[in-house]
Structure 1
Amino acid sequence: MFAFDGGYDPGQASHTILLELRRTIERHPTVQHASGEPPGQFIRVVATLDPAILGSEADEGTLTLRWYAGEAADADPEFAFHYSESSGFDCGWHHEPNPHVDGWAHYQERPAANDEYVYEAISFRSLQPVPLLWEILDRLEARLID
């Protein structure tokens, strides 16, 4: 995305990607509602999910998507797709610096709100926003079925 002066605008680029991710996630059968926050210039998308469709016994589930396109148009993005349930279980797929793993790509999980996270270095098939979203939704479903 470009700024009004013709330069790259990372905030606008991130907002545009989050807007597309919100439109895309709304098509998934488990999604009850998705909204971009704050209105006008998204920094995250929050989707309310029906965990039962994904194989969980929790009453409520939320998937929060954060995306930062980077300071330059050719920079690797920083992102997090983080799921949490009313049971206290939460997990996430992140691509950002983290002192607990080598590299940027990692999965983190904790069974209950008071537990410590366990981290695992991972890789993604794509860093393109929409294919990545579908990959994460597949991984989430596989994790909740286990």
Structure 2
Amino acid sequence: MSGPAYDPGEASHRALRGIRQELERHPAVSVARGFPEGEFTSVVAELDPAVVGNEDATLAVRWFAGEQPGADPEFSFHVGGPDADFGWHHEPNPHVKGWGHFQRREGSAYRYEPYSFSSLAPARVVWKLMARLTARLEE
């Protein structure tokens, strides 16, 4: 007897729900919300300017668990705001070899650097990238 069929939308929603919970626990986050209600496809977090030193910076997170169980997830943690446009992505991109990369807008174009994720577990990715994010915003 097998369990319920794998649903990539539900798996992605579960991961994003956990990501939202982890972000809500992080001291650099004022509030985190999942969108749309019911089955998240993204999470948006408002960053606390007192912690990150940057007014009006937000973090947008996308996470797709993959079409099959055990597939590598595709995700992005991208910061936007008047003085910030950068993020870490794990997805195919013609500008870098492999899936992992960091990208930052410089002028009218992005600059890309390969980035290796030590874990693809949602909670671990949150805490690792939030440490890197706060350091980048303080620069």
Structure 1 residues 96-117: Cα deviation after superposition (integer angstroms, max 9, x where no partner) = 0001101000000015xx5211
From 42, 47, 50, the equivalent of 1:49 is: 47
Structure 1 residues 88-138: Cα deviation after superposition (integer angstroms, max 9, x where no partner) = x21010000001101000000015xx5211000110111110011000001
Paired letter, 1:138: A
Paired letter, 2:28: T
From 131, 134, 138, the equivalent of 2:127 is: 134
Alignment root-mean-square deviation, CA: 1.6
TM-score of the superposed pair, with normalisation by structure 1: 0.89
Q: Which residue of 2 aligns with 1:82?
A: 78
Task: Give 3-state SS (helix, strand or coil) of 2:45's partner.
Answer: strand
C-alpha distance in structure 2 between counterparts of 1:51 and 1:123, whole Å: 28
Runs of 4+ that moved beyond 4 A: none
Task: Give 3-state SS (helix, strand or coil) of 2:109's partner.
Answer: coil
Task: Give 3-state SS (helix, strand or coil) of 1:41's partner.
Answer: coil
Q: Specify every segment of 5 or more residues in structure 1 that has no aligned partner in the other structure, as ranges.
A: none
Offset at residue 51 of structure 1 (A): 3.4
Offset at residue 77 of structure 1 (A): 0.3
Offset at residue 32 of structure 1 (A): 1.2
1:97-116 paired onto structure 2 within 5 Å: 97-111=92-106, 115-116=108-109
Structure 1 residues 39-81: Cα deviation after superposition (integer angstroms, max 9, x where no partner) = 0000000001123412x3x321100110000000010000000
Aligned residue-pair number: 138
C-alpha distance in structure 1 between counterparts of 2:134 and 2:29, whole Å: 13
Paired letter, 1:21: I
Offset at residue 86 of structure 1 (A): 2.5
C-alpha distance in structure 1 between counterparts of 2:128 and 2:49, whole Å: 17
C-alpha distance in structure 2 between counterparts of 1:144 and 1:99, whole Å: 26
Task: Give 3-state SS (helix, strand or coil) of 1:47's partner.
Answer: strand
Offset at residue 143 of structure 1 (A): 1.4
Paired letter, 1:26: E
Task: Give 3-state SS (helix, strand or coil) of 2:77's partner.
Answer: strand
TM-score of the superposed pair, with normalisation by structure 2: 0.93
Q: Which residue of 1 aligns with 2:23?
A: 25
